[in-house]
Structure 1
Amino acid sequence: MCVTPCFEDGNKRISISIGAQFLLLNGYLYCSQKFIQEMENISYHVAAGKIDKELLSEIIGSIINEPEFSEEGKKYYKETMLFPRFHQLDVVRKLIAHAKAEGSGQRYLIEHSAGSGKSNSIAWLAYRLSSLYDAFDKKIFDSVIVITDRNVLDQQLQNTIYQFEHKSGVVQRIDIDSKQLADSITSGISIIITTLQKFPFALNHLAEIPNRNYAVIIDEAHSSQGGEASRKMTETLVEKNVSLEESEKIESEIEAGVQDEDDYIREVIQKRGPQKNISLFAFTATPKAKTLEVFGTQDVEGKPKPFHLYSMRQAIEEGFIIDVLKNYITYETYYRFNKTIEDDPLLNKKKAVKAIGRFASLHPTNLAQKTEVMVEHFRQVTMKKIGGKAKAMVVTASRKHALKFYLEFKEYIKEKGYKNIRPLVAFSGTLIDDIFPEGVTEAQLNKFGEKELPDKFATAEYQVLLVADKYQYGFDQPLLHTMFVDKKLSGVKAVQTLSRLNRTCPGKEETFVLDFANDRQTIIDSFQPYYEMTMMSETTYPNHLYDLKGKTDSAQVYFQSEVDAFSKIFYKPGSASVRDQGKLYAFIDPAVDRFKQLDEAKQDDFKKSLTSFVRLYSFLSQILPFQDVDLEKLYSYSRFLLTKLPKVDYTERLKLDNEVALEYYRLQKIAEGDLVLQIQRKHDLDPVTEAGISREKEEKDKLSNIINLLNEKYGFDFTDQDRLYFEQIEQALYENDDLKIRARNNPIENFKYAFDEVFIQTLIDRMDANAEIFDKIMVNSEFKDDVKNWLTKKIYERFKKE
């Protein structure tokens, strides 16, 4: 390789010869305060003094890995020249400068958009930190440790760093056990790559080694392949053949309740507290409010902010990633039900609405119809993209859904005789089903090992990947063009999931998202905080803890005397004996008994408040020096108490299959086009309050009204039809003898209540006469109210005139 940098200061031009390849790099940085040129155009930065000749020579000498794509779309690394983007150069330079000036013991938060090349930024930073010396020519960090939980990124980082230095002893992969990690740290290996699971051990071990300093680089945490959620799902469902709705319910509850890796990292760091010999460098695309407070740098207003920012908007404008919301289409499922029982049962309104919604969305017709929509869209649109290499991902609501959709895909493709679409499925553990009573695994269905899936999917042999809480985060496959979403998503998970599409590759100009489960505004609200800069709107205040403590105290589930007695044993010096553990629970059990005496609403309020107190105290106690002993005692007591409180019985659910018949099921496209995010300098995240917990009052309502509510909620717009339909409705209402009697004996304020029920029933009886107007009335509340109010007044006046 021949590398010849040439500097021509007069015309601000830099030319670089790399073998037979000649690059003329002549660009500029800002235009109307926006990046308008790709940031690898180095010449501006050299001319502007942002990159000096020494740094450029270092870059040229050390960065020799460039991603390439095979014919099958698989990424591999060709040993050639790769110029970092400006934001990658900038973050490494600033971090190195700050670490050199301040030494160890610092914390840095780097917020870089998903798909912006964090893997390379981390690799380059690790390499520079490993050879960083202070002004007295003393090495600042004895070792650099890279923490990641993603198998894909783990391999990518190792490959990238290995290409910097080929001599032995520079990089050590920790792929055996904690002893291997301890030996690597003790022996002073320059760069150590390990997994998230070994992070607590690493942090503890580093703190115990005297007179040594360490840099710990933390890749953004993801709940991806494996993790506590997957383990708990496997443990919960491995012995059971549960229904689709039960699978979704259980897995969503587990997913919501399991501490994610991002929180896990913060907790580990907070337990240790600040360490003068350890600097932490945290990379993330989606920092939470708590992450900002732990890792953020204080601005002039005292608010925590990232040390370095590369926003989603910036990355999109520079062409580094693709805007995944550019072609986002939402589908809503609309359905109506017909009563099939003679009596109108009283149901819990809140639970009935949930049950009906679940029944409709998981009806076999629904799965088959969605499969047809997805397969046909892929055939007609997706497979023609990226030179015929485009791939799709289907995000399902649960492991059982992934299996069912996979079988539906296979059956539909076979029925149609399609030869150019082959699906793969990804889920954790063993899944029992009617078709697989002995259980089935992902590997058995795909007919190859679980770890082989990313490479297999990258080939031309497979086109669609159906996933259940797997490969939604941290999965890098540039040929992914289309995503079908059939799972409720919001917040960080929505951003991480949809961002799987944003990787660029030759021939990829756009992406496509078809969402069966979410609305446009939810997705916009999820992406908005990370479109520009994520900042806290205000700092979390400790008084929120006292608000929560006041709520739990007032419930009188526990007594202070019990908390005090518990604490005497809990904080007793030395190891706790079996007898001591029994005594601890002796002070917990009375509170459990009192909890059971509360009604369901109060139980829910208490448990939520106590859980929030424990989480918030755990967070704040690592940041603020609390002197309140009572808070500490209640925290320890509460952690034990929460483990003893009764769990929610997820099997208790309303079964409406025998009470309501699915009369029809249709899909109608209601929104299509770009989701527009607001360009803002900052988007504040609400602080950690967790004090505003409330429970909606449950009310009873008739099934017919519940059905009306659902028909009103799920609808689509049509153009108005002729007046004949309304005239028929009006005449039918006028011929109702009951309405006539009520109109003659009541003012209109009372009459309208009787009118409502007859109005709906009349519409249902005549829905075939004009299905379009019927649908609009039933699902569009504003339109329905207009029609109902007009007919109420008109019919009442006709009766009164007689």
Structure 2
Amino acid sequence: MTNKVADSQGFYFSGQLQSEAQLENNLIAQLVSQGYERVVIKDEASLLTNLKHQLEKHNKTTFSDTEFKKIVNHLNKGNVYERAQTLRDKFNLTRDDGSPFYLEFIDQIEWCQNQYQVTNQITMEGEYQNRYDVTILINGLPLVQVELKRRGLELKEAFNQTKRYDKHSYGSGAGLFQYIQLFVISNGVNTKYYANNKKQSFKQTFFWSDKDNNQITQLEQFAKTFLEKCHLSKMITKYIVLNHTFKILMALRPYQYYAVEAIIDKVKNSVHNGYIWHTTGSGKTLTSFKAAQILTNLPKVDKVVFCVDRKDLDYQTAKEFNAFSEGSVDSTDNTQKLVKQLGDDTKLIVTTIQKLNTAIMKERYKAAMEPLKDKHIIFIFDECHRSQFGDTHKRITEYFNHYQMFGFTGTPIFVENVAKNQHGKRTTKDLFGECLHKYVITDAIRDENVLKFAVEYINTFKQHDTIRDIEVEDIDTKEVMESPQRIEAVVDYIIANHERKTHAKEFTGMLCVSSVEVLTTYYDIFQQKKLAGEHNLKVGTIFSYAANEEDKGADDFITEETTDMTGKKVNQHSRDKLESYIGDYNAMFGTKYTTKDSKSFYNYYNELAKRVRDKEVDILLVVNMFLTGFDSPPLNTLYVDKNLKYHGLIQAFSRTNRTMGEKKSQGNIVCFRNLKQATDDAISLFSDKNAKDTIIMEPYENYVKQFNEALEQLKAIAPDVDSVNALQSEEDEFAFIKAYRELMRVYNVLVTFTDFEFDDVAIEEQEYTDYGSKYLDLYDKVKSNNQKEKVSILNDVDFELELIHRDEINVTYILKLLGQLKDAPKEEHEARKKNIMDMLSGDVQMRSKKELIEKFIHENLPEVQNGGQVEERFKQFWKEQDSAEIKRICEEENLDLEKVQKLISSYLFTEKLPYRDDVVKTMNQKPTILKRKTVSQRVLDQMLDYIKTFIDGAPE
């Protein structure tokens, strides 16, 4: 019999397992052996004392108490992003004698020359008292926080814990914990890191790896490599990007780090070129941005020129680069400005290949360009394989004498997919030399940095009402493929299936077609059907209206489209159509864009991109535009009615596979053409010959089988819904939670298939939903126990509530059902009422409103004359109940009603929980110090329950 031992969290486990305390102690001992100083810090007072000593040591001086107070005041300003800037800047301290002193918080040039300490169990007092696991201090500032869970527990809960600490106590006192740059989470077996970014999801946490992309997951090995002192401070000083657009921190992933290091090594130690093969969707722009940023600081580099091959330089990319080097991005076609930047002290320049080409070629720039020929200029190409790159590449190599050239691509040109131009057949290797680092799509899917693709092939030549998934016959005549009847069949398919594909429009879609002419047919049919009331999808579109701009269809490369029509012959019919479609957009969003003004058209392009990212457009209809280089995580479905292959196919498909939360489990590709062989060929070329199963989701039947197997596991624990109530121990409940969660995960994938219906699986929809209600009951129980500070093994479970929430179930939807209930025959009342109650029980966001809606059904619905009056009466009822509940809370807890309402308004505006003192201020009679914590927490919980019930999702 194995002894049971209590670990630091109070859980019991087999003595053979390593406890969290053991894990913590082992990590500290290892870091000490790696040169960290072990220091005991119990609270903020000792943290500040230590900070003073460490800053004195680092800056080789001493500070008076008055001077140190100024330093702390300087540090205690701004949010996480602003503090990250403070960390990297020097502080001009006015000393007691009036002299200036430039104080450094971290040495970024000699990054190993900093002071490293490790401590554990620092206690901070915020809204809650929190004790943190292991803290790494650099020059006395807590820059890395490590949160541990004992082996066997879920890593995601360590992530959730850092989120709770951020909400509850990181900002307390002098806010020094808001200087955290990196988090590390581990359960010993799995270890991940991520930047301090409030918007971060668990899917944006990373394993470290070696140069060959082999993951380093064990804590001991991770500490040996990633937490090695010099490497850690290098990551903080060199490889965290301060994202100006979103005001967040971003940490480079391991493959991005190795790519940048490889480029820097080439520049420092050779005269050679090279290219980086990182799969589409892996963040090439961030990698190239960081490479450019670091290279500008090398003394031997005169200029870094970052080249993009599209005149419509992405707005966000431009903003990022301009934030680093003001004025480096000029979005106009002004080549004169580029030539001026090349000649002045601007070290980082962002331009287009077209402008660079003009600067080299035109006689009028010759005198200004001549002195640059012998400068050491680094050219970085965002996408190094564009078709027009052949001429520019040749001109650069012939014009400059001391250049180096580095390219980034997700889809290199190999012998198999090389196209011939006037320079002959040339591969990426021919143009750039050796591949400096490789990270292919199979690596990215394994690391969960991108998602798999679920590809369905739809036969549009069957009768419209029997459209189903099969391998499409090879019918490809222009007349048949572009016939309005076929296009209408595709539109009907999309209307019928879009909600299923996008999880009730929680995500968005894109439809790419073969030509502008076909696009206009599609758009017009969508609009006709919208006016006829057949759908309410918001469809947006944009395309180039240049004359004779044909999509080459089967070509490898997707033809570049641009909003810049300067000097181009216009197809007036296409332009008139687009003007009309932009008119629809203006009516939808209250804007005034037009094609008649080039600046207005460019602004339309940028705003449309933003609205797609913000999920304000349901389907974006394009020919080529947005199929390359456009990142929108909420985009999960691509409808394809054009021929694609190799590079173009992977680029287009990859619009859908950005990670975003638990519910986005794959990128959906719906092909209305026979692209099966082209898909297989592209996957083989850009990963490896056996990668198909890694990249493409399994067939529908496999997920049915997985669902039924998961269901068997669930039924072994709880044979029926009622048996969940009889589970004897927390271990049994834990097993049930994990089993139902696995069932949900498979269901989440299964439900996106067009074929899915509950008849195919071994459970009825009602029983599946009922199990979901029991799952949510356990969630409520855990939440209640947490509030009572009861230690529970279930605290370390992530319930993944987003998987059980159904967006279509809201108050508006329930009101519609209540109206139908009122008008239904009496014999149907009970069944309909049960259906409504079951829906409320089975949805995480509606459960809080269940009791209220039930009360309305019993007390108010009988008085309503017909279903049409239900909404007005319900809103009146809601208002009455809202007012009564807030009064009840105030009377029960003896609170000032006006102060409570102000506190709630402040919370809704700032989204920050009020501090304990703020809650106490609402009390007419202040509790004693001993009772203050308990009473204020009880009051806060009541306020939050009130918000959840009456404000979140209230009827409009």
TM-score, normalising length: structure 2 = 0.42
Q: Which has the higher contact order (CA 8 A, sep 6+)?
A: 1
